[in-house]
Structure 1
């Protein structure tokens, strides 16, 4: 007969639900700080560039949260470092969109995939660095 550890299931559920909450909050924050409506560009405009940029930012943050999950010593530690990861990723997005590529919004609205690919690569790289820095 299989043994089910209810404490482990509860831990999994709380960490997973919080991770999903973080991811959804991150997506809302990302789409809020853009000067264009990413969802409208993606859903109605078939805008590949918007899809690439948003996907890169989501993947980058998910990588960072994965690093936090692997290294957190308890749930409280996970929540704190998940927020730190979120702030770090948002700062990276702001740097790319407003400092490195001042015309980023126009390029995405014009469906210029080149800008989106560079941005997505940067977001994923920051997520990897973020995750690596959260090992202790």
Structure 2
């Protein structure tokens, strides 16, 4: 029974390593994304702006989806970090493209306009799903 328990716990160290890497990449994504967006997500969310929370939540999930795929399909921590960085860049690029299409996107989110927030969140989720699927090959 003790050997079964040790066998079950053999994956704890890789779990911790990948989880810490994922949390680090998520922190980098949050910092970079909030730095690149003209609106101030955390201040808007603290003020009760649902549009900012919706858009930012979509971006977080849109990044976490391909990051989880990178974790599942990577060969090593370095491989995972590389694909996580690619996921980060793709998600940031998606936001940049949306800003080209809707030039007043940040102002509208700052005003709490949900239509733009839902579109931005949906775009982030869609791009994240496609990004995750592309990482499986």
TM-score, normalised by the number of residues in structure 1: 0.93
Q: Secondary structure at the match of 2:136?
A: coil
* Per-residue deviation, residues 72-92 of structure 1 (Å, max 9, x unmatched): 122221111111111111111
Q: Which runs of 5+ in 2 are unaligned?
A: none
1:124 equivalent in structure 2? 125
RMSD: 1.2
* Per-residue deviation, residues 37-59 of structure 1 (Å, max 9, x unmatched): 1111110x210000000000000
Q: 1:75 aligned to 74, 77, 82, which one?
A: 77
Q: Please state how far the C-alpha of 1:4 moved relative to its aligned partner.
A: 2.4
Q: Secondary structure at the match of 1:102?
A: coil
Output the CA distance in 2 between the equivalents of 1:74 and 1:135.
15
1:104 equivalent in structure 2? 105
Q: Which runs of 5+ in 1 are unaligned?
A: none
Aligned length: 134
Q: Please state how far the C-alpha of 1:7 moved relative to its aligned partner.
A: 4.6
